[in-house]
Structure 1
Amino acid sequence: MHSVLRSYWNGSLGRFNRFPVWLPGNRMSVGDIGVLAPDDWYKATDLTRLGVAAEHDAPGAASDYDHSDGATLSFVTAASVGEAAHAGWLPSGHVGLRLEFRRGGSFVLKAKAVRVSRLADLAGVEAQVLALYRRGKWRREWVLVTEVAAGGPVIVVVAKESGAHAVVNLGADAVVGEFDLGRVRGSLDIGAESGLGARFTTRERSAVLWRGMYVSDGLISSVRLKQRGETEPAARWGRRPPHELDSPALYLTEPTELSEILTAPGEATTD
């Protein structure tokens, strides 16, 4: 499962410059504080409970997320020629969206009306978090959620192996050849599947992607927050960009290996 998660994680970063919510369907809100384990996200507390004052920016405009990495999409019905395998699962008159994956770790992510919410005044939040850290009230393995993209309906399907496939039930009112999650009235159930590593569908609003920060306390560099996201190259080596020496230490860094994300900062990693 770790290889599936690694591929999905890296694929989401490459396409959206955001981390995927794992496991899909997990509740995640701006200001949450938790721990990333190899197979899940565990909330420990939040900014409010720790007494950190934080304002939220107004959510951004709604947009649709649509990405198919290494997957072919087509429409099927229970009566489709050569689709006898779907009979008995896909009800008569319903339209299905068939997903066929060319390699393990490839994925489909579709989300309707996604809005991004984020913390405002990260510099102010950083000052309060670092004060907690110096008093021993903030654990080094904690990750602060600074941004969440949420929408719905949502479809997330990740292939475990090459040749994986599945069918999503779009319902009786769907039209073959036309796909709009906003108009789908079907159950979004997944069936006729094989070789999947993870799957999640919901008609409800759900967190899809996120960004987070953690306290970095290196041997040479000063204590600061590091944000997982898009990047200044110097940040990889614990240095601030030269033109931002006097700015808050909120420049971004991008781990290249999942082990860097799933290990608490400062801990050794193992293959």
Structure 2
Amino acid sequence: MKVLVPVKRVIDYNVKVRVHSDGSGVDLANVKMSMNPFDEIAVEEAIRLKEKGIASEVVVVSVGVKQAQETLRTALAMGADRAILIEAAANVDTVIEPLAVAKLLASLAKEEAPGLILGGKQAIDNDMNATGQMLSALLGWSQATFASEVTADGDSATVSREVDGGLQTIKIKLPAVITVDLRLNEPRYASLPNIMKAKAKPLAIKTPADYGVDVTRRLTVVRTAEPARRKAGAKMGSVDELIAKLRDEARVI
């Protein structure tokens, strides 16, 4: 079974995001970029499936700018077999919306014929949490979201998914789209020898035109702003004073 893993290049989660003074977007100049953490977990899970003999090949794909090759090389160093970059933008500030990404991935899936698509539940830059669901709908495949445990067996997969009330376990038919959550696994670090080997692994460059997909934006960002600063806390002199504050000011009791 071939496993296809979409990965996205995002601002590193350790970096403090800066917003342009005019509110037009996020400042990406000289900012460290890395693989979306949820996608990294998906890559790790796909590699583990291969190590168990369930998957025969792990293919990683990214949609975005040419610099995303670095992200794909990271996935190859972790253990993926080959990579595909769909170069859909020339400018790092250009946003490729979830629907366009889903259409590109759907076309690629028809070409590659994977038995399973494993992706992150969302990207940490826009938190859309939409691409996986759209991809499932476009392909007409089963889907399981927010996966914290995945077991593939023959023509089906059993997935434990995180829901508001705890965990829900479902069984889905393959091929399927599964989006993963943080608790699924702990991604491995790529060793230096594997980083060197990754440079020799195949990385194909495609364009949206190769798949007949229009990536023109349909959404307009009106304004981008930093979160409001939290007010300083206050110390209460007694339990009665705390209760009074919660009742009269916060109005939570």
Q: Give the TM-score category using the shorter length.
A: under 0.3
Higher-strand-fraction structure: 1
Q: Bigger relative contact order, structure 1 or 2, given CA contacts below 8 A and separation 6+?
A: 2
Higher-helix-fraction structure: 2
Task: With the length of structure 1 as denominator, give the TM-score of the two structures.
Answer: 0.21
Task: With the length of structure 2 as denominator, give the TM-score of the two structures.
Answer: 0.22
